[in-house]
Amino acid sequence: MDGRRSAARRGADGRAGRDGQAVPSATVGRLPGYLRALEATAAAGAVLTSSDELAERAGVTPAQLRKDLSYLGSYGRRGVGYDVAHLREQVTVALGLADVRRVLLVGVGNLGHALANYAGIAERGFVLVGLVDADPAVVGTTVAGLVVEPADDLAAVVARTGATIAVLTTPAAVAQQVCDALVAAGVVGVLTFAPCALRVPPHVDVRAVDVASELQILAFHDRARSAGGGAS
């Protein structure tokens, strides 16, 4: 309101919070956790909460939580705390979950099948609008209430459904070409489970989940523990 920060420092990528400041990507990565913490707090019947309580639930420090929330705006009251419903609404808006996002899943194998049936997706602001697979044996079957469509129709499915986000659970060997097709069709966010790096244009966002890599990172620490063990 006071306009002192009106010379907006906007990030190169245009990810702007209140007042036009960019929200740091590390902060963006923690917002879903804060939203979960707020939902749990609301479910417990609380109307007010504090940075201490939310931080405890989210597994961060109170200082970090307050700093992160400050990039979105000033939604608490000093000496009082945060209104649970109001803050929840603000974080929801900040994350772009005020509108439902349409998600397309490509690759209906073991993992794709499990993800298509994962209730958490629908419960948290998304709607699965399409399933695509290259295997003729899978095409035409119904999974999670949707009929699997052929990979050749990928562009048409994106156009028809208006999907902006895709989940990629294909073999690594075809991940890049499927990703290219998704991007060409207009998808701007890709969540990939394929164990390979994906190249995308700057306007597209990729998040990669690789189960084996996560295990390897755990193995690193396990090794360090065994090898270093004992003295200190």
Distance CA(209)–CA(193), nearest Å, equals 5
Residues 88-127 that bind a second copy (CB under 8 A): 94-97, 99, 101, 103, 110-111, 113-115, 117-118, 120-121, 123-126
| Nearest residue (CB) to a second copy, 159 versus 197 | 197
Binding test (CB under 8 A) with a second copy, winner from 24, 62, 150, 195? 195
| Nearest residue (CB) to a second copy, 120 versus 145 | 120
Distance CA(89)–CA(42), nearest Å, equals 12
Instruction: Say whether residue 24 binds a second copy (CB under 8 A).
Output: no
Instruction: Say whether residue 25 binds DNA (CB under 7 A).
Output: yes
- For residue 80, the SS3 value is coil
Q: Which helix (H) or strand (E) segment is 189 a member of?
A: strand 189-192
Distance CA(38)–CA(5), nearest Å, equals 29
Binding test (CB under 7 A) with DNA, winner from 40, 52, 207, 218? 52
Q: Which helix (H) or strand (E) segment is 128 a member of?
A: strand 126-133
- For residue 204, the SS3 value is coil
With 0-12 / 13-18 / 19 or more C-beta atoms within 10 angstroms meaning exposed / middle / buried, residue 6 is: exposed
Instruction: Say whether residue 90 binds DNA (CB under 7 A).
Output: no
Which tokens is 38 given? Answer: 């707020």
| Nearest residue (CB) to DNA, 34 versus 167 | 34
Which of DNA, a second copy, none binds 198 (CB below 5-8 Å, type-dependent)? a second copy
Which tokens is 227 given? Answer: 């090898």
Cβ contacts of 25 within 8 Å, gap of 6 or more: 15
Instruction: Say whether residue 202 binds a second copy (CB under 8 A).
Output: no
- Of 37-45, 67-75, 100-108, 131-139, the window that binds DNA (rule: CB under 7 A) is 67-75
Which of a second copy, DNA, none binds 95 (CB below 5-8 Å, type-dependent)? a second copy
Binding test (CB under 8 A) with a second copy, winner from 61, 74, 177, 216? 216
Instruction: Say whether residue 16 binds a second copy (CB under 8 A).
Output: yes
Neighbour count for residue 132 (Cβ, 10 Å) = 27
Q: Which positions make up the binding site for NAD(+)? A: 107-112
Chain residues that interact with DNA, rule: CB under 7 A: 24-27, 50-52, 60-64, 66-67, 69-70, 74-82
